[in-house]
Structure 1
Amino acid sequence: MNRTLLIAMRDNDIAARLDQCLEVLIVQVDGRGRPTARKNLVLAKASDKEICRIAQAEGVHTLICGAVDEEISLYLTWKSVQVIDDIIGPVDAALRLFGQGR
């Protein structure tokens, strides 16, 4: 089953906080967790609510970030988006580990 990930970014790393993120990476992954397509979106201003809107518009299944406000996390979970937070490090490493189911 194909899935869509949204990764909150800063440079090439996972953004420390979703509400201060200015760039997101949207990645399509196949049933084995391998990336098949990716696109970067740059936000005009930091906004976790805008990222929620993007997640819904893009059909995101999983959001990966450093830290997220509890209210936003609950909202995304209610909208059937899995939130994986407390993640730090390079985006490519996070993608690789996600593909391995870790």
Structure 2
Amino acid sequence: MNEPKYFDYLVLGGEHHGKSYNGLRTPILEVRANSQPMARLYARDEPAQITVPVLVSYRVVEHICGDGKHFFIATNDDLTNFDVEEEILKSGISPVN
């Protein structure tokens, strides 16, 4: 049987800058936003609203380092604004290949 393969994603830019996430391969990485709606109290006979978590979506690009290793970078910004290889070293994420 084929086991599902999980990959590391490094987020550059936005509210999750520098954080890494692990998940199945995806073209868009969705992460819970840092601020979520507050919970509300309801009377016993009042129907409760469904609280939907707020997600932030990042597009995923495959970055190839000078040594030939491939990494998944999730960002909505221009990668020329970052020292991508330095950020990869700081994060310690695993390469794709």
Q: If the length of structure 1 is used for normalisation, what is the TM-score? A: 0.27
Structure number with larger C-alpha Rg: 2
Q: If the length of structure 2 is used for normalisation, what is the TM-score? A: 0.27
Q: Which structure has more helix as a fraction of its residues?
A: 1
